[in-house]
Amino acid sequence: MSALLPVEQRIHQLRTAVTAYADQYHTHDAPQITDGAYDLLFRELQDLEAQHPGLVTLDSPTQRVGGAILEGFEPAPHDRPMLSLKDAMDNTDAMAFVTGAAAGLGVDTEALELTGELKYDGLALAASYVGGVLVRAATRGDGITGENVTSQARTIRNLPLRLPMPIDLEVRGEVVMRKNDFELVNKQLLSRGEKPLANTRNGAAGSMRQLDPKITASRRLSFYAYGASELNGETPFNATTQWDLIQALLNLGFSIAPETAVVRGWDGVQSFFERVGEGRAALPYDIDGVVFKVNTLQGQQDLGWTNRTPRFAIAYKYPAEEAISTVRDIVVQIGRTGAATPVAKIDPVRVGGVMVSSASLHNADQVHAKGVKFGSTVIVRRAGDVVPEICGVVPSAADETLRCFVMPLHCPSCDSRLERQPGMVGSYCPGGLKCPAQKLAKLCHFASKLGMNIDGLGDKSITALIEAELISMPSDLFSLQAPDVASLPGFARVSAAKLTKSIAAAMRPELARFIYSLGIEGVGEATSKALAKQFGAWSRFRVATYDELIQTPDVGPDTTANIQRFFADECLGLEADSLAAITSPQDSLKTTGSNLSGKVFVLTGTFPTLSREQAKALVEDAGGKVSGSVSSKTSFVVAGDSAGSKLEAAQNLGIPVWNESMLLAALAS
Ligand code: IVH
């Protein structure tokens, strides 16, 4: 059993396992084990290292949590300057680069091979490895001398601390804060009453420049590599192209965007730029453009450098997702759940490719935390289809004299007194479906694309239907008659018939869609899917207890409480029942495998990473039972090294035999 292994051996075993699991999680986005199982292994390693400080090494995954606080950053001179790229702001600039590079190399424009890479929007970092171990990490600084941020860099979870081979190498790339980590970090900062980060770039840069590496560790940074050279200045791995170099970095364990590709000529450049642009909002991190580099390293050398930028590469930029504007007014909007959201009315500005004149401020706490006032100069952000938001203030001397925002006491739509529920952020209008603003927002949400997807039912037609008193809640839609609709402003006979037809087509919705369309706070697309999967039928979801709801993956106490509050509200609960009776949501097939409930396990032999006790705890946490002997009731036998009679019994009885990784995979699914 593992407890009998000598300490060094166990530490080594744990380090290898933790590093591999973390690598699968952070670098390959493919978790192999649950967070709980990972934490168990990590904590065991931490405890063993605490008991045996002499056995701690620089490349141990425990070193990622951040060491001692620094007094200042040491200068870190660069062997080769860290320069920047020339920008192409439109297709004329980009075309000029492609034709210029092709001409410089004496090849046809259409034959020129380039790599298409993402232009990660963060902070440049040069990471030096000696004998395969990370020994120094430096920021760009002025390009000649950077700052030594080695302790901070060690906390970046997907930056290898040790390479699989003992080489001397400098890897350059970008430190970024992924979008979901940014949300998480900002939630934590706001809950502590601290100023939120304005954007992911500031998040990455600000977090790397923390003298206390523990703060950097809490910021959940990531690293994406885009170049490398041997410390003696040579090209590593005898690579002859940028593509080879990137593949080599990938093999060494560095993260590289999977979009990276080799493209040919102007057509290739343009289609890569467009394809990545279309997927930009869905990427896990912010990018501000794509980078094209002449693929052959010989070609790169032939084209060479100006004094500031390489001639062989270009940064082809997308329209900025952020812009600066001025707050003219702050109004309060009431959403479908009654949430009162302060919205800034700003001087119209072009951002993310469209004109924006209002932007969300989320809640009163954020208005104050960000320091937004009437007249503030603000950073406005619009990424993809996401509602534009104010992410921060550009400080000015006039700020002191500006008027502050005060949350009104009453709902601007129904005049109910706004409430603040304990433990919840923001104010709510308790008016429910009696509040006109909530009624409209609920109906719009119900009919929306991700909801019941009722074609031709947008906010204008819903407003007309409400004003004509034809509808007041979603269930009324199903008794609409085409002739009544036809007489309304904005409708005619054909459009009215079309609308009633698309309402009829919304019958028998998928359960997930139906749950989403109810507009329960915190129950978005992903949560609705998870709930549909967990309960399988509306009738089961409708009566689910707190304990049952909270077992749904990714459903926490807040969402569980929201669901229960929703059904406990007489009006909302009754309306949900009517809607279910009218539309008959389809049952969704319950897939097994998300947990081990009802399964009986027998554990035998020595497992490669888990101790028997750890494995037992994990099975039981996932709802399974662990039994000491094999019988016809046994669902699975998990066998490690030197498994004996129990393994034999399982084989005789035809019971499936798993190894440790199969168990971990089942726990993670
Ligand atoms: S190559 C000579 N490739 O963009 C410069 N840079 O202005 C070599 N960046 O600060 C850089 N993604 O940190 C390169 N795929 C990529 C990049 C990238 C982001 C950053 C880099 C630099 C800035 C260039």
CATH architecture of the domain with residue range 600-668: 3-Layer(aba) Sandwich (3.40)
What pLDDT score does 517 carry? 97
The 8-class DSSP code of residue 177 comes to E
Q: State the Cα angle at 390 between 389 and 391, rounded to 5°.
A: 105
Determine which residue's CA is closest to atom 18 belonging to ligand 1. Answer: 119
Q: Among 212-221, 448-457, 658-667, which is the least confidently predicted range?
A: 658-667
Q: What residue type is 257 in one-letter code?
A: A
Average pLDDT over residues 141-161: 94
- Quick check: 114 and 273 in contact, CB under 8 A? no
39-48, 142-151, 646-655: which has the minimum mean pLDDT? Answer: 646-655
Give the pLDDT mean for 519-540: 92
Helices (H), 334-400: 364-370
Q: Which of 85, 87, 273, 309 to mutate to test the pocket of ligand 1 (most atoms within 8 A of CB)?
A: 85
Tracing tokens 């593949």 back to the chain, one arrives at 247
Q: In terms of Cα–Cα distance, which of 622, 620, 621, 627 is closest to 603? A: 627
What is the model's pLDDT at position 35? 80
Confirm or deny that 84 is annotated as ligand binding.
Answer: yes
Nearest CA to ligand 1 atom 21: 124
Residue 459 labeled ligand binder: no
Question: What integer pLDDT is reported at residue 512 of this predicted model?
Answer: 95
Asked whether residue 551 carries a pLDDT value surpassing 60, the answer given is yes
The proportion of the chain whose per-residue pLDDT surpasses 70, expressed as a percent, equals 97
pLDDT band, very low/low/confident/very high, at 612 (cuts 50, 70, 90): confident
Q: Is 638 in the pocket of ligand 1 (CB under 6 A)?
A: no
If pLDDT is split at 50, 70 and 90, which confidence band does 98 have? Answer: very high
Given a cut of 50, whether residue 442 has pLDDT beyond it is yes
Least confident of 9-13, 88-92, 287-291, 374-378: 9-13
To the question of domain 322-401 being in CATH 2.40.50.140, the answer is: yes
Q: How far apart are CA 239 and CA 252, in angstroms?
A: 14
CATH 1.10.150.20 positions along the chain are 432-506, 511-583
Q: Is the pLDDT of residue 2 over 60?
A: no
Superfamily of domain 86-317: DNA ligase/mRNA capping enzyme (3.30.470.30)
User: How far is the centre of ligand 1, averaged over its atoms, from the C-alpha of 492 (Å)?
Assistant: 56
Helix axes 660-668, 35-51, angle to 10 degrees: 120
Which of the listed CATH numbers 3.90.226.10, 3.90.1150.10, 3.40.50.150, 1.10.287.610 matches domain 6-63?
Answer: 1.10.287.610
* 88 vs 316: CA distance, rounded Å: 5
The pTM is what?
A: 0.70
Choose which residue among 82, 83, 84 to substitute to test ligand 1 binding: the one with the highest number of ligand atoms within 8 A of its C-beta.
84
- State the Cα–Cα distance between residues 64 and 4, nearest whole angstrom: 28
| CATH 2.40.50.140 placement within the chain | 322-401
pLDDT at 110 over 50: yes
pLDDT higher than 70, residue 153:
yes
Residue 82 CA, ligand 1 centroid: distance in Å: 9
Segment 330-355 mean pLDDT: 93
Closest C-alpha to 416, from 429, 432, 433: 429
- pLDDT tens-place string over residues 485-503: 999 988 899 999 999 999 9
DSSP 3-state assignment of 350? Answer: strand
CA of 349 relative to ligand 1 center, distance in Å:
28
Name every residue whose Cβ is closer than 8 Å to that of residue 408 and which is 6 or more positions away in sequence. Answer: 332, 418
Nearest atom, ligand 1, residue 118 CA: 15
pLDDT of residue 591: 44
For 432-506, the fitting CATH number among 3.40.640.10, 3.40.30.10, 1.10.150.20, 1.20.1070.10 is 1.10.150.20
Per-residue pLDDT of 49-87, as tens digits, reads: 989 888 888 788 888 877 677 778 999 999 999 989 999
3-class DSSP assignment, residue 220: coil
Question: Which atom of ligand 1 is least distant from the CA of 121?
Answer: 19
pLDDT for residue 590 is more than 80: no
Residue 463's pLDDT is what?
Answer: 94
pLDDT at site 402: 95
- Indicate where the chain has its CATH 1.10.287.610 domain(s): 6-63
Distance between CA 99 and CA 105 in Å, rounded?
10
> What gap in Å lies between CA 516 and CA 528, rounded to an integer?
5
Q: For residues 523 and 563, is the Cβ–Cβ distance under 8 A?
A: yes
Q: What are residue 374's DSSP bridge partners?
A: 403
Average pLDDT over residues 114-124: 97
Cβ atoms of 387 and 393 within 8 Å: the answer is: no
Q: What is the pLDDT of residue 445?
A: 96
Nearest Cα residue to atom 12 of ligand 1: 119
**CB 44 less than 6 A from any atom of ligand 1:** no
- Secondary structure (DSSP) of 496-513: HHHHHHHHHTTSS--HHH
pLDDT at site 193: 85
**Token pair listed for 623:** 């709802």
On whether the CB atoms of residues 154 and 203 are closer than 8 A, the answer is: no
Q: Is 84 helix (H, G, I), strand (E, B) or coil?
A: coil
pLDDT for 593 equals 46
Q: Give the integer Cα–Cα distance in Å for 525 and 74.
A: 48
- Greater pLDDT, 30 or 548: 548
**Identity of the residue numbered 601:** F
- What mean pLDDT value characterizes the chain? 91
Torsion over CA: 194, 195, 201, 205 (sign): negative
Residue with tokens 């930056």: 159
Instruction: Give catalytic status of residue 119 as yes or no.
Output: yes
Structure tokens at 197: 């980060």
Percent of the chain whose pLDDT exceeds 90: 67
Q: What is the pLDDT of residue 233?
A: 66
Is 120 touching ligand 1 by the criterion CB < 6 Å?
Answer: yes
Judged against a pLDDT cut of 80, whether residue 27 lies above it is answered with no
- Length of the chain equals 669
Does the C-beta of 291 come closer than 6 Å to ligand 1?
yes
> Taking a C-beta distance cutoff of 8 angstroms, is the pair 156, 223 a contact?
yes
Give the per-residue pLDDT at 117.
98
CA of 489 from ligand 1 middle (Å) equals 55
Position 592 pLDDT exceeds 50: no
Banded model confidence at residue 1, pLDDT cuts 50, 70, 90:
very low
Helices (H) and strands (E) in the chain, counts: 24, 21
**595 versus 10: which is more confidently predicted?**
10
Q: Specify the CATH number of the domain 511-583.
A: 1.10.150.20
What is the number of other CB atoms lying within 10 angstroms of the CB of residue 571? Answer: 11
Return the H-helix or E-strand segment holding 176: strand 169-177
Mean local confidence (pLDDT), 539-554: 92
Centre a 10 Å sphere on the Cβ of residue 507 and count the other Cβ atoms it contains: 12
Cβ of 287 below 6 Å from ligand 1:
no
Whether the CB-CB separation of 669 and 634 falls below 8 Å is answered with: no
* CA-atom Rg of the chain in angstroms: 29
User: Whose alpha carbon is nearest atom 1 of ligand 1?
Assistant: 226
pLDDT at 29: 66
Domain with CATH 3.40.50.10190 in the chain: 600-668
Of 453, 431, 449, the C-alpha closest to 440 is 431
Q: Where in the chain is the domain with CATH 3.30.470.30?
A: 86-317
Burial class (CB in 10 A: 0-12, 13-18, 19+), 407: middle
Q: How many CB atoms lie within 10 A of CB 539?
A: 11
119, 370, 529, 646: the active-site residue: 119
Handedness of CA 116, 120, 126, 129 (dihedral sign): negative
